[in-house]
Structure 1
Amino acid sequence: MSRADDILNSEFGTLPALVAAHAAERPDHPALVDPEGVLTYGQLDARADRVAAALQRDGAKHSVSIVSYSRNDYVTVYVGALRAGLAVAPLAPSSLPEQIVAMANDADAALIFLDGDNEAALNGVLGQLPRRIRLDTPEFEQWLAPEGTKPAPATLTPQMPFNIIYSSGTTGTPKGIVQSHGMRWLHMQRANLYGYDRAAITLLSTPLYSNTTLVSLFPTLAGGGTAILMPKFDVAKYLSLAQQHRVTHTMLVPVQYQRIMAHPGFDTYDLSAFRAKFCTSAPFNAALKADILKRWPGKLIEYYGMTEGGGTCILVADEFPTKLHTVGRPAEGHDIRLIGEDGRPVPPGEIGEIVGHSGAIMTHYHKQPGKTAEAEWFDETGKRFIRTGDMGRFDEDGFLQLMDRRKDMIISGGFNVYPSDLEAVLRQHGAVFDVAVVGVPSEQWGETPVAFVVKAPGAEIGAPELLAWANAKLGKMQRLSAIEFRETLPRSAIGKVLKRELRDEYKAPETP
């Protein structure tokens, strides 16, 4: 058994230690690949040492921030900062400049690492940021400690912060979710479950500031595999890379799967090397899952959970083809329950808010004890759960079916209307490529559902015709009041539909 295997099988280990073990065993094996080239484990380990030593030389404390598109040295900084005993606060380039300033300062970042595109975008606030280092210029090389430098050993414990992931948000400053080394260690130990071994090749096209990406990147490196980084997602480029590199693993969000499966040349690519495809972050409709199972080799595994941790459900779709409308069962050792408005567990079969507990749970929201308390729920024994804000119900086999975000549930005429139910009906129509339903104010009903639809290519249908078709299939209290066609739906960088934007943009027709 190798040193890396010994670490992975231990009760606690760290990513920097695993990188060092793989570098000692197979220094020339590719660890990271980006459009600029390949970084082997030996090179990654040596450069992470130089990052760690430079941070220690500069007296860096607490954390560092990164605002960059995916690249090899993004991961190098991540590993090096951890090796120096610091946390990492990766920030979304799509955030407003003022938000990036606020998040970097909230994280107490000693330095912020930027690429050229994002430094230019932040031009008006550069003076408000911590000390800046450019990743894509000689400045980064000059900042690194000299080749061969070893940092002073830093003791990492399960309770120490690994990273601070800032929650997505369209207004205000997102909350900093503090994930510990212990929480990340549980994620990395999943490397053994889904074939993240030394021959694994993982293609990642979602951004590195997102937990969606990190729950696949870190197991890849933990297992000694290779991660291929796409700075920006493009369907044809993705399929080309998957074929060229004989990719075995990937993490995608539902809208990416939708676009890939709709690509006219999809079936011409050789994707036979795939072992496992993962999905998380947004609702994943059953028909799309079925199409992937039919046409794309390898397992399809859906994770349902939150960046805050707590509880995770896993659906191995190929093993449960009759459960594609669910997000699976709670993972081993994860306790997931449903609670009502009164904070008490709901009876079996009823809908409630999903709360979860596991060893993989955030420490707290950074500097926000009030928000932390709002996110917590405790059972009668004092066991700590994280509230998801999602509504769901368990079926008779223990599979969890998501309804909607609690805040997106529509209360129309006193009845609860779940947008996901309406969206599922609309997706049955061949003219519908994408859809989102939101509740808008109504004098008669309080709220009423409106659908925003992206037509399938070549589809010719009017809103009145589609509205009549849908309402004929919906219950009386579910019926849509309007349908609007859109070229696209507004989405976050990881594919979540921004329903607040649709709600804010909608203008009801004036009554004569």
Structure 2
Amino acid sequence: MHLSLASVLQESAQRRPDAIAAVEGDRRATYAQLWDAARRRAGALAEHGIAAGDRVALLAPNTVDFITAYYGILAHGAVVVPVAPMLVQDEIAHLLRDSGARLALVAGEAAATGAAAAARAGVAALDLADPAALARPAPARAARAPLDPAVLFYTSGTTGRPKGAVLTHLNLVMNAFVNAFTANHIHADDVMFGCLPLFHTFGQTVALNGTFLAGGTLVLQPRFDPHEALALMAEHRVTAFLGVPTMYMGLLAAARDGAPVPRLRLCVSGGAPLPVRVLEEFEATFGVRVQEGYGLSETSPTATVNQLEYGIEPGSIGHPIWGVEAEIADAEVEDEVVLMGPGEVGEIVIRGHNVFAGYHERPEATAAAIVDGWFRSGDLGTKDDRGFLRIVDRKKDLILRGGYNVYPREVEEVLVRHPAVDQVAVVGIPHSSHGEEVLAVVVRAGGAEAGEDELLAWAGERIARHKRPRHVAFVDELPLGPSRKVLKRELRDRFADLGRA
């Protein structure tokens, strides 16, 4: 049996050859042009000695060159290893060595860093702007089996060195197909805004592959800027936006500054929990429902999303997508999956066509992650009697204060409603008698002057005593990883001494 993720582009190039597939600045590329360039990339890989099944790193921003290289690698039958352009040399070199990449394709501002990191790792590098990165088009797409590896995604590494999650052609074709046609209902006349990093699974599977499956247009923004984003949306009549919570917050702030508000049809949020206050304000400002979803690199990524057929429930992550199951299991039992009943807090476990093949060359980690056929997400959640799932928090972010469980997201939802709070992250820091103490790290709203005492009093009126923060730290911005998730580990380390004071 044959199945290739490259068919996402190839099929649309056959069905809609002259339709605009991608927009980057003043550049317009049709589906036929993208597929021709992808085949030329595949031809260049052959000339550089890359064989089917070899791993090829791709380090580039959100550009047409990323797209042609991505599908070119797949068309050649090689495995894509996406690398975040903002990583430093040591981090890039580690990923190249760990993945066993035979070649690194680099582009843009990070090309020099990527090439230097490749040299340190003993890997050849090729700039996508080099004429040698294009060659005579490959005569045909390489044959691949459904369970062959297609993309090696590295986890964000918020809790340690990143691990490579092996995603198959079946994983990624199915996830893109279900997102596009049964969960999000993307249309051929949709114009999708492409600000999510294409090196990340959300942007790659849902925005890029989902849009191309439907035959729509992807408007690329190499680096997210909310004011520019709204201007581009208005210019190109964007109808669909996919983003992470920090992007929604940025768009709201830009709209408050008077930036144009586009007429959107579809909005999906993922990557991290979206505060209900932000969701409500965004819907009121932009006049569109936000469908919050949930997934991980290991689940291709989408596992659940608020779907119109089930109804949309603010604060929830909706229902599992077609062909996928998501349940709640006892988080304390690690060697088997013990499912729990409605309303009980436990670990979210997932099984279906979206679950990855395992961690690259890490059998012990794979065995710990996939138990009894279920992927253990590491996220704590609940499921109500209507089937709506809710995230409580990351299992590793759970704060244990004086023997009581404190879920940071619950505290964050309260604090972010204070008018002086723009963003907040709640973490546990060491404490001599309580074990851990609750710290709120706050980014103030523009012009606000609220101090620690005011915010602690606000929380004290709205949260049970054992959950209340005892410390507030103010920062200009929260540290974000490559996928724009808040790096709570960095905050715990930075403010660890507060709990000992």
- Is the aligned partner of 1:133 residue 2:126? yes
- Mapped to 1, the partners of 2:355 and 2:428 lie a distance apart of 32
- Is the aligned partner of 1:426 residue 2:419? no
Corresponding residue for residue 101 of structure 2: 109
Corresponding residue for residue 6 of structure 1: none
Could you give the per-residue CA deviations for residues 108-161 of structure 1, whole angstroms, max 9, x where no partner exists?
2222111242133346544224211112x3x1x233213xx3335421221111
- Mapped to 2, the partners of 1:438 and 1:511 lie a distance apart of 15
2:153–2:165 CA contact under 8 A, matched in 1: yes
2:59–2:114 CA contact under 8 A, matched in 1: no
SS at match of 1:473: coil
Corresponding residue for residue 87 of structure 2: 95
- Mapped to 1, the partners of 2:215 and 2:114 lie a distance apart of 36
TM-score w.r.t. structure 2 length?
Answer: 0.92
Q: 1:151 is aligned with what amino acid? A: P
Cα distance change on mapping 1:306 and 1:153 into 2, 3 Å: closer
Q: How far apart are 1:266 and its partner, in Å?
A: 6.6
Worse-superposed segment, 304-313 or 241-250: 304-313
1:195–1:275 CA contact under 8 A, matched in 2: no
Corresponding residue for residue 158 of structure 1: 146
Aligned pair partner of 1:70 in 62, 65, 74 = 62
Q: How far apart are 1:264 and its partner, in Å?
A: 4.2
Corresponding residue for residue 168 of structure 1: 156
Percent identity at matched positions? 33
- Mapped to 2, the partners of 1:165 and 1:45 lie a distance apart of 23
Q: How far apart are 1:403 and its partner, in Å?
A: 0.9
Q: 2:376 is aligned with what amino acid? A: R
Corresponding residue for residue 367 of structure 1: 361
Corresponding residue for residue 334 of structure 1: 324
1:53-68 equivalences under 5 Å are 53-61=43-51, 62-68=54-60
1:496-507 equivalences under 5 Å are 496-507=485-496
Q: 2:170 is aligned with what amino acid? A: G
Q: 1:39 is aligned with what amino acid? A: A
Q: Structure 2 stretches of 5 or more lacking a match?
A: none
Corresponding residue for residue 349 of structure 1: 343
Cα distance change on mapping 1:283 and 1:25 into 2, 3 Å: closer
Could you give the per-residue CA deviations for residues 337-365 of structure 1, whole angstroms, max 9, x where no partner exists?
22220242234321101111111110111
Aligned pair partner of 1:282 in 272, 275, 283 = 272
Corresponding residue for residue 185 of structure 1: 173
Could you give the per-residue CA deviations for residues 165-215 of structure 1, whole angstroms, max 9, x where no partner exists?
111115754111111000111123232233433212111112111001012
Q: 2:347 is aligned with what amino acid? A: E
Q: How far apart are 1:377 and its partner, in Å?
A: 1.8
Q: How far apart are 1:93 and its partner, in Å?
A: 1.9
Q: 2:194 is aligned with what amino acid? A: L
Q: 1:478 is aligned with what amino acid? A: K
Corresponding residue for residue 249 of structure 1: 240
- Is the aligned partner of 1:479 residue 2:468? yes
Q: How far apart are 1:482 and its partner, in Å?
A: 0.9
- Mapped to 2, the partners of 1:294 and 1:365 lie a distance apart of 42
Worse-superposed segment, 56-65 or 433-442: 56-65
Count how many residue pairs are aligned between Structure 1 and Structure 2. 490
- Is the aligned partner of 1:300 residue 2:286? no
- Mapped to 2, the partners of 1:318 and 1:492 lie a distance apart of 34
Worse-superposed segment, 105-114 or 450-459: 105-114
- Is the aligned partner of 1:263 residue 2:254? yes
Corresponding residue for residue 29 of structure 2: 39
- Mapped to 2, the partners of 1:48 and 1:480 lie a distance apart of 53
Could you give the per-residue CA deviations for residues 244-286 of structure 1, whole angstroms, max 9, x where no partner exists?
11112221100110111122457662522x2211111011111
1:317–1:324 CA contact under 8 A, matched in 2: no
TM-score w.r.t. structure 1 length?
Answer: 0.90
1:113–1:134 CA contact under 8 A, matched in 2: yes
Worse-superposed segment, 49-58 or 168-177: 168-177
- Mapped to 2, the partners of 1:20 and 1:122 lie a distance apart of 29
Could you give the per-residue CA deviations for residues 231-251 of structure 1, whole angstroms, max 9, x where no partner exists?
101111100111111112221
Q: How far apart are 1:407 and its partner, in Å?
A: 0.8
Aligned pair partner of 1:397 in 386, 389, 396 = 386
Could you give the per-residue CA deviations for residues 58-87 of structure 1, whole angstroms, max 9, x where no partner exists?
320312111111110111011111111111
SS at match of 2:297: coil
- Mapped to 2, the partners of 1:393 and 1:416 lie a distance apart of 15
2:104–2:125 CA contact under 8 A, matched in 1: yes
Cα distance change on mapping 1:172 and 1:500 into 2, 3 Å: closer
Could you give the per-residue CA deviations for residues 38-74 of structure 1, whole angstroms, max 9, x where no partner exists?
2211111111111112222332031211111111011
1:12–1:185 CA contact under 8 A, matched in 2: no
Cα distance change on mapping 1:170 and 1:224 into 2, 3 Å: same
- Mapped to 2, the partners of 1:510 and 1:332 lie a distance apart of 46
Worse-superposed segment, 216-225 or 288-297: 288-297
- Mapped to 1, the partners of 2:15 and 2:115 lie a distance apart of 44
- Mapped to 2, the partners of 1:318 and 1:471 lie a distance apart of 39
1:267–1:295 CA contact under 8 A, matched in 2: no
Q: 1:405 is aligned with what amino acid? A: R
- Mapped to 2, the partners of 1:440 and 1:468 lie a distance apart of 20
Cα distance change on mapping 1:160 and 1:126 into 2, 3 Å: closer
Worse-superposed segment, 195-204 or 445-454: 195-204
Q: How far apart are 1:163 and its partner, in Å?
A: 0.4
Q: How far apart are 1:34 and its partner, in Å?
A: 1.3
